[in-house]
A and B are shown apart, each in its own frame.
Chain A
């Protein structure tokens, strides 16, 4: 039954998407406003039916309707309600449906815009075209509503790694980011087609870019946090191709939200902004392709069917190729805008966007090279973390130096000397204090000491700017840059000063790490809803005072019989203690891994601040519309 409802909804959505695509074009040709109304109605109905399809799949999951192949493969009656709910997008087909739902949601949101009617119509039409393509892909390439010839009594359950609170929220957030940029892409295409790429275009596009960027930032941060506590390796970023796939649109999007600001203020950087708009969505699509094609080994590679990969690749080639062709043919040349001032805020923003772009190129090269090499030579290689650290980190330093300087420079003609003086007010004391303190703690990791001090300077100089210029006037900018500083501070310090210890402990035995004493008190066993567990109780003491009790678990998930560690993490905001329970080594001895991570949680708090800043900027924009 639910399968038919799903198919019906998708078919209706596909039909309305076709109308949404065609009627603005037709209306434009005929100069007839009724067609535009039809486009708006189609976009709304299309969203309604995609939502109906999505809700149908969720219902099938929640009620464990095993007549659907997809539900049978990924659901189980013993799974807690939250994971049955979130399981709807914990698989290839379901996640593509979520993807399409957000694509449709963006088109729906556009129908409420009042200003720039011709541009918005164009964007709604392009959004409709993408919905047609992706609903068709869903129907023929990734069908979530396939039925089984009989109804099994029990399903095969979800990969235990995905049975986690983070999973419920990470994919929707990440997809809001990825697919949110589809709206930016649609506006770029519409602007190119209509040759309307002026300040108004930038004003119209920037809210979409801010929203998507904020969601992408949160999505990446949640993914990294999930990897940190769920994978149990003590790391939060592995330069895994899937992680890089989300970082690439983030880098392009970060450059974009800044160059759009220049375009709003000065009407400059038009070509560069439009190119970045196209690139950001191109990289979002590439991310989807990399993750969904099964080309790379990862938890995200649900599909290992190469045909799907080829279809997605063809769709990307069509959309991105079409976008760039239009860019080459229709970008209005040689407008009368004044040349870009080098020593100005827009100059600093431009240099930083170029640095971000250079970072994007190196990450892309390192991520795609193994795939290209394998395609042409059948050699298998991987590009390790050292490559990315050696290329991305050096580019971070000029970025960190330029942001505070750029904030002190004013729009248009600006005095570099004045800005430098203001920047040095905070630079000299912060760097002196930062370097001295960290050097006395441990002089070894020079790069981290400098990076952490620069990040601290970014925070301090942003605050200094706020104190002098008033916080409210430029709150999003100040907050966003503080967030970046906090994140980099967390990265630099946790990477340089983390400690790890692999030990074998018998009951009652203790071990030391970084001034903390860890004592294995007890090991208990029991049953969870769909797993058996073994749980350790590790008392953590400092100066004979108990700080906390870490209770890491090992779980055996029953339907799959697969093992899964649950880490135990203690945090006081400044440091994290992280415990993992290993295997039983006999004679009441267990393998235990302990980590000490200073300031690691600042990485995610900083990301949250950055996202908050973008949402604040968005809110200010909404008020002025």
Chain B
């Protein structure tokens, strides 16, 4: 049987090792997986590396939606600047022209290659990020 002192030492080292393990995991995984949100206007003044995963939000421009088989393109705008978006797949149910949307993906030569399109859950719902950025550009109107 181990002495009480040794047992305690063992426990302290286990807790220490676990703390170091989780801190390492958090630190190594965290920076690479933070996804920043921008509005189309923010993107005018920022250079985003094509490898960097970002989110962009705004309103889907009226009559900008085009289908070509499963290839989809549309334009999102914050009423000041615009950004063309390309996406392959099926749009979410609540995707509508004139409504708020958030896309996640990569920026390549001024075009946005979306991996996912988020327009979720409620027809009156404006993603908070979009509402905030529209307010900043002074074009927010409260949803009726």
Contact = CB atoms under 8 A, between A and B. Distances in A.
B121 A582 contact: no
Interface in A237-277: none
Given A159-B122, A358-B19, 8 more contacts: A297-B121, A350-B11, A380-B36, A391-B25, A394-B21, A502-B89, A562-B93, A583-B91
A366 B33 CA distance: 10
A387 B30 contact: yes
Contacts of A298: 120-121
Interface residues of B, number: 45
B144 interface: no
A105 to B, nearest CB: 30
A490 to B, nearest CB: 23
Interface in A316-344: 339-342
Nearest to A565: B93
Contacts of A391: 22, 25-26, 29
Contacts of A232: 93
Contacts of B90: 502, 580, 582-583, 591, 593
Contacts of B15: 354
Contact of A342 (B2, B25, B29, B88): B2
A575 interface: no
B54 to A, nearest CB: 10
A161 to B, nearest CB: 6
Nearest to B15: A354
A351 interface: yes
Interface residues of A, number: 51
B70 A504 contact: yes
B37 interface: yes
Interface in A574-620: 580, 582-583, 585, 591, 593
Contacts of B123: 560-562
Contacts of A383: 30, 33-35
A503 interface: yes
Nearest to A557: B123
Contacts of B51: none
Given A339-B7, A342-B2, A354 B18 contact: yes
B129 A380 contact: yes
A-B pairs, top 8 by smallest CB distance, nearest first, are: A390-B29, A387-B33, A380-B37, A358-B22, A299-B121, A563-B93, A582-B90, A562-B123
Contacts of B4: 339
A240 B94 CA distance: 18
26 contacts: A297-B121, A299-B120, A341-B2, A355-B18, A358-B21, A358-B22, A362-B25, A365-B26, A366-B30, A380-B37, A381-B36, A382-B55, A383-B34, A384-B104, A386-B33, A387-B30, A390-B33, A391-B25, A391-B29, A395-B22, A502-B88, A562-B93, A563-B93, A582-B90, A591-B67, A593-B90
A159 B70 contact: no
A339 B8 contact: yes
Nearest to A589: B69
Interface of B: 1-2, 4, 7-8, 10-11, 14-15, 18-19, 21-22, 25-26, 28-30, 32-37, 53, 55, 67, 69-70, 88-91, 93-94, 104, 120-123, 125, 127-129, 132
A114 interface: no
B131 to A, nearest CB: 9
Nearest to A294: B128
B35 to A, nearest CB: 5
A474 interface: no
Nearest to A232: B93
B32 A386 contact: yes
A394 B25 contact: yes
Nearest to A563: B93
Nearest to B28: A390
A308 to B, nearest CB: 15
Contacts of A355: 18
Contacts of A358: 18-19, 21-22
A563 B96 CA distance: 10
Dominant SS at the A interface? mixed
Given A341-B7, A342-B2, A563-B94, A390 B121 contact: no
A503 B33 contact: no
Nearest to B8: A339
Contacts of B67: 583, 585, 591
Nearest to B25: A391
Given A351-B14, A358-B18, A380-B36, A299 B122 contact: yes
Nearest to A386: B33
A79 interface: no
B89 A593 contact: yes
B93 A362 contact: no
A298 B127 CA distance: 9
A503 B70 contact: yes
Contacts of A565: 93
A395 B25 CA distance: 9
B25 A390 contact: yes
A354 B2 CA distance: 22
Nearest to B127: A297
A38 interface: no
A387 B28 CA distance: 9
A564 B120 CA distance: 11
Contact of A504 (B37, B55, B69, B129): B69
Contacts of A381: 34-37
Interface in A393-412: 394-395
A468 interface: no
B93 to A, nearest CB: 4
A383 B37 CA distance: 11
A539 interface: no
B40 to A, nearest CB: 14
A229 to B, nearest CB: 14
Contacts of A563: 93-94
Contacts of B28: 390
